[in-house]
Structure 1
Amino acid sequence: MASISSSAGKTLALLKTLNTRNPNPFPSLLLHVHGFCSEIPPADADQEPTMPIRPMRGEAEKLDKTICHMMAQRPWTTRLQNSIRNLVPNFDQALVLGVLRGAHLPDHALCFFRWVEKTGFRHDRDTYLEIISILARKLMLNHARCILIDDMPKRAVDREEDMFIELIQGYGRAGIPQEVVKIFKKMPEFGVVRTSRSYDAFFKAILRRDKVDDGLHLFTEMRAKGIRASERTYAALMPGLCDDTERTGEARKVLDEMAERRMTPKDKSIFLRMISSMCKSEDLDGAMEVHRAMKRFRDVTVDLSHYGVLIEGLCNGKKYDVAVEMLDELLGKGVLLNPQSSVIEPSAYNLMIEYLCGNGLTNKAEEFFRLLMKRGIDDKVAFNHLIRGHAKEEKPESAYELLNIMSRRGIPSDADAYTLLVESYLKKREPADARTALDSMIEQGHLPSSSLFRSVMVALFEDGRVQTASRVMKSMIEKGVKENMDIVHKILDALLMRGHVEEALGRISLLLMNSCAPDFDSLVASLCDSGKAIEALKLVDFGLERDCNISFASFDRLLDVLYSASKILPAYSILCKIKAKGGVVDTKGCEALIESLVAGGHTKQADILSRTLSGKNPLDERRGKKVAVDA
């Protein structure tokens, strides 16, 4: 402790003496001596130092930071140079390197590098490499080049490969590939041997501007000279080859070489990029080879995106069998359910699903898509492919289930998918389910074709489901479809025959509202021939009320069937309405009706009818209605 105190005391005494003769020329310089510190006040700006202060032992490692701080705070002038010189009369390599590395700006480092030679310091390989590296990284490339090409030979300092590598990398970062090529080619002229490290730097630099031809040329040159490419060489070369669809052959050769040397690319994306380029250039065999070659590399896993690009490329190239093999491999590995894997693109899975659904493999397609659904994919196109596939394979229940899923999730459906579903039910002779699917189709905003309406109505009618067919007919008419009147007539006739008169008349009313009048005469004739007197009466009454086109023969036929059925008063009622509308009937039949009325005690009605026929008591429409009511 005594010796430390004595040493510190001597140092402080010396500093006080120096400060008395010459105030400190450098601001805020802290001198740390064995745990003590003393701040020397700043010198007068106009006063030059007269005596340098030599740093004490233990201070050298902190002098570089002090000098860098001084350069950052003051402009580079003679006064600053003198201040540094007073602080450090003699420079060694360690201090120079420390100042160069710690300089706040590359300009400061360059100024110091140039000036320190004037103090008697001789730059060596390390300091030259340091300043070239600093300038190249900061893109002060002309300065770095001048130091390397011009200054070093003058000072008899040998140039080394590392220095050229730094300059090549700098020009690469600046995007000046032509200078990269010049520097690289001149290296042998300067007596510098190019190793794989130089080639690595060269590849990386020129391939930023991206220069694949130059890269391949140099790669071949390396091989010819027996220089083995390093991982960096491959890493620099491969992206340019992978992204160029015309270079896929060279890319495959390089990849095979890497596999043989057991070198795994650090950038795993090159596999996907290579497969994509090969698929774009229709080199599908090459893409498959790359896919298989991935197993030869350590720590390289086949991602979902690789399968997606392959499947899409194979489908576009009509190699569906191989695409199905890829799908089987994908499903077998369970990659789809891995949350860490990427999501396959719609352009890939929709092509695969479309092919499967069109070739009797809809179940496999649905298995594939349901896994995609678990990853949150709700794709309208895929759903509709599946529905079509199930419908074609006569599995309408599966198709309808998918339609229900779409409806719940608000996914729009295609009209033709519904059409196929309806037709599938019809093929299986399930007309009721076909009608349900047709209703769903309409609910989803699709308009079934006239032929589809007809197919469903015919199937229901032939299955004895007349009223269900009637409801389909109603939907068809409401949608403005006016074809298929032949089956419409059959449905109306069947409804009337079965006693569903009110329903039949409701459908006829809807037809009239849509300018689609049915054939009343044919319907009346059919009812009369079947002895359906009351049904025929209601139909004619309905037609008279609406001034429909009914022939005189139909009136006579109706009256005949009413007479035959002893429906005297209904016959009288309808006859009065016919006459009120100006209709003409058979006189002999009317006379027979009068006799029947008298015989039945209906003398009042007989008298009215007699007067009407003789023209003495003509009926207007309103009175005809009253008479019919009385009857």
Structure 2
Amino acid sequence: MRGKVAVSWTILIGGYAQNKQPMEAFNLYVEMLRTGLKPDHVTFATLLSGCDETITRKDVHQVHAQITRLGFDSDLAVCNSLVDSYCKSQGLELAFQLFKGMITRDTITFNTMITGCSREGLNEQAIELFSEMQHYGFRPSDFTFAALLRACVGLDVTTVGQQVHALAIKANLIKQRNALVDMYAKCGRFDEANIIFENLADRSSVAWTAMISACVQQGLNDEAFKLFNEMRSNSVCGDQATFASTVRASANLALLSLGKQLHSCIIRAGFMSNVFCGSSLLDMYAKCGSLKDSIVIFKNMPERNTISWNAMISAYAQNGDSKATLRSFKEMVESGVHPDHVSFLGVLTACSHSGCVDEARQYFNIMTQTYKLTPQKEHYASLVDVLCRRGRFKEAEAWMAQMPVEPDEIMWSSILNSCRIHKNQEFAKRAADALFNLDMLRDGAAYVTMSNIYAEAGDWEHMAKVKKAMRERGVRKVPAYSWVEVGRKVHVFTANDRTHPLNDEIRKKIDTLGKRMEEEGYKPHLSCALQNVNDEMKAESLKYHSERLAIAFALISMPERTPILVMKNLRACVDCHAAIKVISKVVQREITVRDFSRFHHFKDGACSCGDYW
């Protein structure tokens, strides 16, 4: 019969364990040993049940040794608790050793190991353990399927997930529908996820977050916001992951007002200290052109990981501050955080935007030789891009010849753009041919760029042939458009747009600006007008490019000296870049334009890119 004193100690230890105070429980256990009392199987099971990630593998190992000395290593409940404790204390290999040596196992044993494997990303082992569990005839539980579905997400194998789904239905275990939504959504099976989600009677925050995240991944950012608002109207409180996904939607839409509202929600929910929410906010402000806010968010982060450092590095790179990008990378390394593929992509992008060829080569070598990271296509594309932007096409071709990957659409497109800048028609033709011979093109950008190269050279015959080939292939031309947010409303403009309610006022503003710009010495770059018309008509057409219309509207709609942020889906032309520099000086405003690859911050007649982009 257990002694009353030992029972009292066990009850006290259990109290701490149940209240998620594992260190206090362990300290009490040590004090119990000092009194000379011997713990029994109940004490050990109770102590280990409260373990979490704060308990070290060494702590668990010491308890394990005591269990073995006292002869409780054959007790199933104690062994299950030990396996669970090893899994939670990053001792999965020790958990495997114990698991394999257990004479008796049950469903809990297998569930614990499957959960531990899926938590550590050992998803194939989790599936193998489930097969072994079935082989021995153990009936799976809700916990089994929850862990298996997480493993399927890690494997990104939907067929396995479908089999697990079928087994869950066969076992009449339907409580994991929220997890099913999460699994299908994260595996990119949006339709299946949506069907299950729509039929859920009780939707947890897991299901809502999975659907919001899936919408963001699919580019359905407006739908993500609708789901977020619907979730809140159903009195479901989102967690850190919910807010992080929704903030990404506002970043993709570049809607600063929505981003700020979400920022306020995160503060009220008490999630500002969460590194994922903080990183998402940092990224959102950067993509909305508010680099200052990104820096403030980063500086106030109580914890920083690879994701937050990468977000800051990318923010500087997107905004054209190469020195700050490289400085942040150095600070990241000095803080003890290891850079990954994303970190180096940010650095290489910054080098490309500033024309730093030698630095790009240096960081590429650091990535491969110091950190032993295998370059991906994006890294090779960045190195080719930095060479082509500098006009060093022979070096770029030599580099491409030794690459272990084939050039893709992104790489050839960047080469084509550089060829246009440096008027390298010969290499442009080869790049265009490579693009035109691809089985599938995202859009007609390559055809448009090549026809523009011919137009700038005055070769109207070849330009017409390219446009004809584009029509014959049925490739869609992407229309250029810009948008500006005023009063929490987005106003979209296309080139020479006359549909806006304030059309007359906008055009009057453009004419007024034109006169003042001429006084400052502005002359239009007629080569940017790609129609075969006279110079006067070319100059007139340039005045009504989409970003110029958006800026004119912002000037008549926003208070004086208020900064203006304009987004454009394509690359800004040389004339618009030159014009906006002059406009920023004339109207005494900061004007930020984000095109498809980077930000341009205009102030007092200069641009942050230094006219290199």
TM-score higher than 0.5 here? no
Q: Give the TM-score band, short-chain normalised.
A: 0.3 to 0.5
TM-score by length of 1: 0.37
When Rg is computed on C-alpha atoms for both structures, the one with the higher figure is: 1
TM-score by length of 2: 0.38
Q: Per residue, is there more helix in 1 or in 2?
A: 1
